[in-house]
Amino acid sequence: MDIVNHWLSGASFEGESTRTAPVYNPAIGTVAREVRLASAADIDSAVAVAKAAFPGWAETSLAKRQAVIFTFRELLNERKEEVARILTAEHGKVLSDALGEVARGLEVVEFAAGIPHLMKGEYSENVSTGVDVYTTREPIGVVGIISPFNFPAMVPLWFFPLAIAAGNTVVLKPSEKDPSASIWLAELFAEAGLPHGVFNVIHGDKVAVDALLENPDVASISFVGSTPIARYIYETAASNGKRVQALGGAKNHMLVLPDADLDLAADAAVNAGFGSAGERCMAISVIVAVDTIADELVAKIAERMTGLKVGDGLRSCDMGPLITREHRDKVSGYIELAEVDGATVVVDGRGVEIDGEPNGFWLGPTLFDRVPPSSKVYIDEIFGPLLSVVRVPSFDEGIELINSSPYGNGTAIFTNDGGAARKFQREIQVGMIGINVPIPVPVAYHSFGGWKNSLFGDTKAYGSDGVRFFTREKAVTRRWLDPSHGGINLGFPENR
C-alpha cells in the first residue's frame, strides 16, 4: 500500500511516528493509500527546520522572493490538471470543480507575487523639525497552517504563498483525509526554486495540531475547519502567545424576494447548494423564501435537480461522493430527522442513480421544504447535499432569521430592487455578502472571512488582512543630530 510521507527540508520525510490513517477514494469506497500521522517530536523537528531556514529566507531580497513566487505561479498554472486529478481522487469533487479550486488558489499566488508593493511601509517627513517617521513591515517567523478536507489545495494556498512571499517559513498540517495535494504543491514550490526548509508539510491529527499549538517557536496559527475546533485552536494558540486566525463553520442563507427572477434564483440555489456535494464552507444550505413565491421557487429548484448527474468525478458528472462513509451516513441521517421534525422532503437523495462504483460514498441532492427553524436540520452545519427551504412572511423576517444564526460566514440576496439589496447589505450580520451572487468568495486582493462563530480572531485570510497577519510593523522615528539638538530636558518629547 502506498504511503503519503511528510515533506521536510525539501525532501520526503518519514518521521519517528509509526501511526498512519487510511486515505480513501470516495468514488470507489476503498482505501487508496495510507498517510503518516506525526508525533509531537515530528512536529518539533519540522519547526526546528523551519526556524533554521527563517533568517536566510527573511534576508532574501524582495526581488528574489518575488521571482520564486512568480515561477511557482507559472508551474502551477501549467500543471493544474495534475493536482486537480489528485483532488478528485481523494476528495471526490468533480474534475471541473477541482480545477475551479486550483484557479481560486492561483489567484492568491498572483496576489502574493506583488509582495514588494504589499510590504511597503509609510513615511512622514519633518513630523517635528528635522525629524522623520517611517514604518517597515517584517516577517514574523515560523507560521503554522492547519487546513480542512474540503479544499485540500485552495485553503493551504490562501495562506502559504503570502506567508512565504512575506519572508516567513511554514509548517502546514493538511487534513489527513486528503493529504496528497499538499505534498504535490510542496514539490512544485521546491521545483520553482524555493530554498529547502522554507515550506514543510507534516501530516497528522490532533497530536500534530496540539504540538504546533504548544511549540514556542511557532509565531502564528492560521486554521480553517469546523467551529468547535476553530474555537479550541483560537483559545489555545492565543493563550500560548501566538497570533491566530481561526476560520470556522457556516450555515449560509440565500434570501429570495418576490421581485427576483425566480429562474435565475433557482439556478443559483442548485449550483450553490449541491456543488462539491455541499461540502463547501460557502455552500448555500438554506433558502429563505418569502411566502408569496415559495411554491413556485421550490418547484423550479426541484425540477432542476432531476437533471443532476451524480457519480465519479472523473466521468462527466455534476456531483461526486461525500468524503467518507461515516460522513455520508451522518448526512443521510438528517433526511429521516427532517421527516420527524415536520419538514416536507421534496427530493430524497437516498437511492439516487449513480454513474460510478456501487460502494462509493454516495448521497444524491436532497431538498426539504417548510423546515422549522427549531429543527436540527436547520440549526446544524450538515456539510452535505441537503438544501432546506424556510418560508418567511416578509423581507424583514428573513433578515431577522439570518441574523439570529450563530454563524456569519456568507449570505446572498436575490432581488432586482436596489433599495432592498442596500438595506440587506447594511442590516445583515454576516461577513461576506452576495447580491445576486450565491457564493460570494472575495477575490484575492480583498480578504476572506466571516463574522460570529465563523471566524475567531480579528484578521481574515489573504488580501490586505493576510499581509498584516503575516508581517509585523516597525515604526522608526529618526533625526540626524547637529549641535543645536544638545541640552538636558527630562520632559516627554514633544513635536515642534
The count of other CB atoms within 10 Å of the CB of residue 58 is 17
User: Could you give the C-alpha distances from 38 to 4, 110, 193, 205, in angstroms and in order?
Assistant: 12, 32, 27, 8
> Which range in 94-102, 168-176, 385-393, 429-437 contacts ligand NAD by CB under 6 A?
168-176
- What is the sign of the dihedral through the CA atoms of 159, 450, 454 and 281? negative
Rule CB under 6 A: is residue 175 a binding residue for ligand NAD? yes
Shortest distance in whole angstroms from residue 376 CB to ligand NAD: 15
Beta-carbon neighbour count of residue 283 at 10 Å? Answer: 29
Cβ closer to ligand NAD: 47 or 209?
A: 209
Question: Please, how many CA atoms are within 13 Å of residue 273, restricted to the half-sphere of its CB?
Answer: 27
CB nearer ligand NAD, residue 381 or residue 465: 381
Q: x-or-dash pattern for ligand NAD, window 372-391, by CB under 6 A?
A: ---------x-x--------
CB of 132 to ligand NAD, least distance (A): 41
Closest CB 448 distance from ligand NAD, rounded Å? 6
Of residues 400-419, which lie at the interface with ligand NAD (CB under 6 A)? 409
Q: Does 334 bind ligand NAD (CB under 6 A)?
A: no
Using CB under 6 A as the binding rule, whether residue 214 contacts ligand NAD is answered as: no
Question: With binding defined as CB under 6 A, does residue 37 bind ligand NAD?
Answer: no
Is 281 tagged catalytic? yes
Q: Which residue in the set 139, 225, 275, 320 belongs to the binding site for ligand NAD (CB under 6 A)?
A: 225
Position 447 contacts ligand NAD (CB under 6 A): no
Q: Which of 244, 246, 247, 281 is catalytic?
A: 281
70/451 with CB nearer ligand NAD: 451
Using the rule CB under 6 A, is 397 a contact of ligand NAD? no
Q: Which is nearer to ligand NAD, 225 or 349 (CB)?
A: 225
Q: Which residue has the cell 445576486?
A: 436
Q: Which of residues 259-298 bind ligand NAD (CB under 6 A)?
A: 281
Q: Which of residues 457-486 bind ligand NAD (CB under 6 A)?
A: none
Residues in region 226-245 near ligand NAD by CB under 6 A: 226, 229
Q: Are 427 and 408 in contact (CB under 8 A)?
A: no
Stretch that binds ligand NAD, among 101-109, 147-155, 187-195, 328-336 (CB under 6 A): 147-155
Residues that bind ligand NAD (CB under 6 A): 146-151, 155, 173, 175-176, 205-206, 209, 224-226, 229, 247-250, 281, 381, 383, 409, 450, 454
